[in-house]
């Protein structure tokens, strides 16, 4: 009878983590093990009897290993329904034995393409064909086949088989089948993304968005909660990203991150990366996704103090990002009176600085510390990040990331007064910050310090007035950056009244002449970039 036959497991894994323990457990539970190549060698070396896949199919592995499991004696044993007599008769007629468990993980495609010297041929050879086919066959027929793709499931499966004397529950089978399809889906998406990036041009160096697109992500961790405590949330990361980013950061201290923590950490890090190659240290403080403080300093401690002083009220409870390893002097300033930070992300932390931060009374024990590695030269790795995605209900918007760099050579002076050398440097600093502020975005800066911000308003003049209110007397002698053109001259008029001396903006409004007239009347130097930086 069928229930008296010896059960069979097919194991073929690239990642050998936990392999011997799992194979040993299955053998002890009475499973006959079929395997391939290096997997079989590893199992046999551990003294566990195995059948080579060639003994099952009657064919040798061929085409340099490209063909070994693509055979009716494999897929017939996987796909035959145990509750359909015709299926069972058919496989019996052809000498096919049922396979009860499949344990497969796939060729390391992502690890291969991350190698700096990878060739297209190497990448193609690391696209697994037989593995996904077996996983999908087993998952489709999960009522009869246990499909395993993650080593983290090995122990639980063995325990359940032992407890139920040879089987797992329907709930477990369904859960494993869903995992299996997610696994192959992510694998195929990683291949699709890499090949799409590699073959992105249509021959005219023009980016072509494919008709169909797949995105592969894996869960890195659960979040404490979502945007609000009643919402569940998790953080997923994209395969193959080498750019220093929140997805590659390592948390070295503090409680679990929430959804909002991740989002704000991303905003802080992406803003501070604008200054990663500057000779001076940079610090950025984010509150509710917007920079409320940003500054350069000769030391990191100076940069932090300037960033915090730009808006000390908003900085309280914020997220801090810096461009240099966080040292003792900066840690002492961070933990001074009337301060509180949710999280800090830095290239690294000096050992002596960590206890200063983490032993701060009341909030130090919960302070999250994340290290992300050296930020210098991150632009060279940014291509691996791929597209910028924004979800809408029922769909996804996809665009290129906004990495366009504006230099002095891109600026067009449109006023009678030319900006001074110092003003030009200040304007470019303000421009780097304003692109990370939610539109309509206005930023005032002075001496490489943000002193006023207007963010996310429905009209631009309101953003200017908010920046004026925040800056107060510090607006006198400051410069102003606007992420998009001024539709009316009222914004520059408010800035002029506050004492702004120079403005950087994209230009392109039908009212540009009126805005330029306001600037000329008030002795303000104004430059156009020709580029806007909306951030929604």
Structure tokens belonging to residue 417: 């007064």
Spans of the chain, pLDDT less than 70: 1-4, 57-60, 62, 64-70, 200-208, 383-386
Per-residue CA distances from 321 to 180, 325, 357 (Å): 38, 11, 14
Q: Tell me if 100 sits within 8 A of 146, measured CB to CB.
A: yes
HEC states along 473-532? HHHCCCEEEECCCCCCCHHHHHHHHHCCCEEEECCCCCCHHHHHHHHHHCCCEEEECCCC
Residues 296-353 have pLDDT tens digits of 999 999 999 999 999 999 999 999 999 999 999 999 999 998 899 999 999 999 999 9
For the chain, the structural domain boundaries read 2-195, 244-374, 408-528
pLDDT at 383: 58
Domains 244-374 and 408-528 share a fold: yes
Annotated catalytic residue, options 87, 150, 179, 288: 288
Per-residue confidence (pLDDT) for residue 2, from 0 to 100: 42
Question: How do residues 93-110 score in pLDDT, each as one tens digit?
Answer: 877 788 889 999 887 888
* CATH superfamily name and code, 244-374: AICAR transformylase, duplication domain (3.40.140.20)
Q: Which of 87, 140, 150, 381 is the catalytic position? A: 140
DSSP string, 101-170: EEEE----HHHHHTSTT--HHHHHHT--SHHHHHHHHHHHTTTT-EEE--GGGHHHHHHHHHHTTS---H
Whether 436 is catalytic: no
Per CATH, the number for 2-195 is 3.40.50.1380
289: left (phi over 0), alpha (psi -120 to 50) or beta: left
What share of the chain in percent tops pLDDT 70? 94
The SS3 assignment for 27 reads helix
The pairing of strands 234-238 and 51-52 is unpaired
Q: Residues of 129-157 as b/e, b for ≥16 C-beta within 10 angstroms? A: ebbbbbbbbbbebbebbbbbbebebbeeb
**Helix (H, G, I), strand (E, B), or coil: what is residue 453?**
strand
Q: Does domain 408-528 have CATH number 2.40.37.10?
A: no
Q: What pLDDT score was predicted for residue 384? A: 47
Task: Identify the pLDDT of residue 200.
Answer: 63
- 10-61 pLDDT tens trace: 988 888 888 899 889 888 888 888 888 888 888 888 888 888 877 776 666 7
* Among 490, 451, 488, 485, residue whose Cα is nearest residue 468: 451
φ, ψ of residue 152 to 5 degrees: the values are: -65, -15
d(CA 446, CA 444): 7
- Specify whether 288 is catalytic: yes
Contact 176, 153 (CB under 8 A): yes
Q: How far apart are CA 229 and CA 173, in angstroms?
A: 32
Rg (CA), the chain: 30
């Amino acid at each position: 009878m069928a229930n008296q036959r010896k059960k069979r497991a097919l194991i073929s894994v690239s990642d050998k983590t936990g392999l011997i323990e799992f194979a040993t457990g299955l053998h002890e539970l009475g499973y006959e093990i079929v395997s391939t190549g290096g997997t079989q060698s590893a199992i046999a070396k551990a003294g566990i009897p195995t059948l080579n896949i060639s003994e099952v199919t009657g064919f040798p592995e061929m085409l340099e290993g490209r063909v070994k499991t693509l055979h009716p004696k494999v897929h017939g044993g996987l796909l035959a329904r145990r509750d359909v007599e015709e299926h069972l008769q058919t496989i019996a007629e052809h000498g096919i034995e049922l396979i009860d468990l499949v344990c497969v993980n796939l060729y390391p495609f992502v690890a291969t393409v991350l190698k700096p010297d990878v060739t297209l041929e190497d990448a193609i050879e690391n696209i697994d064909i037989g593995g996904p086919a077996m996983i999908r066959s087993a998952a489709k027929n999960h009522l009869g086949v246990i499909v395993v793709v993650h080593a983290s499931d090995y122990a639980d499966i063995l325990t359940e088989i032992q407890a139920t004397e040879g089987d797992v529950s329907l709930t477990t089978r369904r859960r494993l089948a869903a995992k299996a399809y997610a696994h192959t889906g992510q694998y195929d998406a990683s291949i699709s993304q890499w090949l799409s990036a590699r073959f992105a041009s249509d021959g005219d160096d023009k980016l072509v968005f494919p008709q169909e697109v797949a995105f592969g992500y894996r869960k890195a961790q659960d979040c404490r909660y979502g945007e609000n405590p009643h919402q569940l949330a998790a953080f997923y990361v994209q395969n193959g990203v080498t750019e220093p980013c929140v997805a590659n950061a390592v948390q070295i201290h503090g409680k679990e991150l929430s959804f909002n923590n991740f989002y704000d950490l991303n905003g802080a890090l992406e803003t501070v990366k604008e200054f990663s190659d500057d000779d001076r240290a940079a610090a950025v403080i984010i509150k509710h996704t917007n920079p409320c403080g940003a500054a350069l300093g000769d030391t990191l401690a100076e940069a932090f103090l300037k960033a915090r002083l730009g808006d000390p009220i908003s900085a309280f409870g914020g997220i801090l990002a810096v461009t240099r390893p966080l040292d003792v002097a900066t840690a002492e300033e961070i933990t001074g009176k009337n301060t509180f930070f949710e999280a800090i992300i830095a290239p690294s932390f000096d050992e002596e600085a960590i206890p200063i931060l983490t032993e701060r009374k009341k909030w130090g024990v919960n302070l999250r510390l994340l290290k992300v590695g050296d930020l210098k030269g991150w632009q060279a790795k940014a291509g691996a990040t791929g597209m910028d995605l924004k979800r809408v209900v029922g769909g996804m918007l996809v665009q290129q990331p906004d990495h366009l760099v504006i230099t002095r050579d891109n600026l067009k002076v449109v006023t009678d007064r030319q900006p001074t050398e110092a003003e030009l440097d200040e304007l470019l600093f303000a421009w780097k910050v304003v692109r990370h502020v939610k539109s309509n975005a206005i930023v005032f800066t002075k001496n490489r310090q943000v002193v006023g911000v207007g963010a996310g308003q429905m009209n631009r003049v309101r953003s200017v007035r908010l920046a004026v209110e925040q800056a107060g007397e510090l607006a006198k002698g400051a410069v102003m950056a606007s992420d998009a053109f001024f539709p009316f001259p009222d914004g520059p008029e408010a800035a002029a009244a506050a004492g702004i001396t120079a403005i950087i903006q994209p230009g392109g409004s039908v009212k540009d002449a009126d805005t330029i007239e306001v600037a000329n009347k008030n002795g303000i130097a104004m430059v156009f970039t020709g580029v806007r930086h909306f951030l929604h």
